[in-house]
Amino acid sequence: MTVIDVHAHVFPRISRADARVLRDQDGPWLRDHGDGTGMMMAGDTEYRPVTQALWDPAVRVAEMDAVGVDVQVVSSTPLMFGYDADVARAAEWCDLVNQRMLEHCAAAPDRLVPLCQVPLQDTEAACEAVSKAVRAGHKGVHLGNHVGPRDLDHGAVVEFLAHCAHEGAAVLVHPWDMAADSRTDQYMLAWLVGMTAETHLSILRLALSGAFERLPRDLKLVFAHGGGAFPYLLGRADNAWHRRDIVRKDSALPPSGYLDRFHVDSAVFDERSLRLLVEVMGADRVLLGTDYPFPLGEAEPGALIRSSALSATDQALLLGANAVRLFGLEHLAGTRTLPSEVSR
């Protein structure tokens, strides 16, 4: 079995000077402390302490070996999206980031699979960027769940998503740009509450707006963090759809009618939640995703799935088979056996 983590982040080596491609002052860059630690920076601001695995593919692969992950599908981080920048600069920035992501993955081409990022603030530029990235070797796109007030169901974003389907590019949707105020500025509450509400909102808007009706059925859509709050609260949304005209006015089906239109990762950190998630979405629509190497990620990738009461067949789907199918990774499946795999 090939174990594939579809939600893992890379912040490639990007200098302060590189960051000026995107913004004059507060562009995102990486401060490498030279001792295995570093800092994600936004201009002069320290955004988050990080470790070398985030940018060094050799360290990354060694850690993957240690925990039994064969392949990572890697994304940049939301701090790098640049959706609020000038379009031309954002397009150039995405080229730079996407090239660094390719270089990171080229260090271990049978272990690391890159997703690109795009200037989503401009549909034409975003479509061009994803087409170019797919030609260069990216397997899909890492997308923020909204661009300012534009959600995934906005006409411009739907057009982009349809283009991704046409290109065969999978789309990993990551929550970001959470409403921040004094109520959520402590304890990482923006990550714990805000991110999961963002993903909940994104999935419901795609369903209730009728956007799923307009999107191609072969669009490969994956939501991070176990679909945020959506799976547990699906009953509430369905009940509202059945009972209020203003909820169902733009959609042919209740939200539960669109579960076959997207996938989710498994990053829920609790076996009971994972069971609910698989019951709601089906075992063919949940993929191992860990948020590696960030501390809010799964400390031991795959452990939650392996320790669950899911059948061996379902575990194999979650641990890798679904990802092989969704990201087109047949060429990497079954080609290697990890030392750690042998010893289990």
Binding site for its own copies (CB under 8 A): 146, 149, 151, 179, 181-184, 186-189, 191-194, 196-197, 200-201, 204-205, 208-209, 225-226, 228-229, 231-240, 243-244, 246-247, 249-250, 267-270, 272-273, 275-276, 279-280, 295-296, 298-299
CB of 331 to its own copies, least distance (A): 33
The answer to whether 55 and 3 are in contact (CB under 8 A) is no
Minimum CB separation from its own copies for residue 267, in Å?
8
Which lies closer to its own copies via its Cβ, residue 113 or residue 259?
A: 259
Minimum Å gap between C-beta 52 and its own copies is 18
One-letter identity of residue 85: A
Q: Give the shortest CB-241-to-its own copies separation in angstroms.
A: 9
Query: 141 or 204, CB closer to its own copies?
Result: 204
Question: Shortest gap between Cβ of 36 and its own copies (angstroms)?
Answer: 17
Give the residue with the Cβ less far from its own copies, 71 or 203.
Answer: 203
Nearer to its own copies, 81 or 241 (CB): 241
DSSP annotation string for 43-55: TTEEEEEEEGGGT
Which H or E run includes 223? strand 221-223
Residue 169 or 283 with smaller CB distance to its own copies: 283
Question: Cβ 197 to its own copies, closest distance in Å?
Answer: 4
Q: Which is nearer to its own copies, 119 or 228 (CB)?
A: 228
Strands 37-42 and 28-32, sheet pairing: antiparallel
Q: Which residues contact 135 (CB under 8 A, 6 or more apart)?
A: none
Cα separation, 178 vs 292, whole angstroms: 20
- Sequence letter at residue 209: S
Residues 6+ apart with CB under 8 A from 316: 1
DSSP state of 80: G
CA dihedral 323, 324, 326, 328 (to 10 degrees): 140
Q: What are phi and psi of 27, to 5 degrees?
A: -65, 155
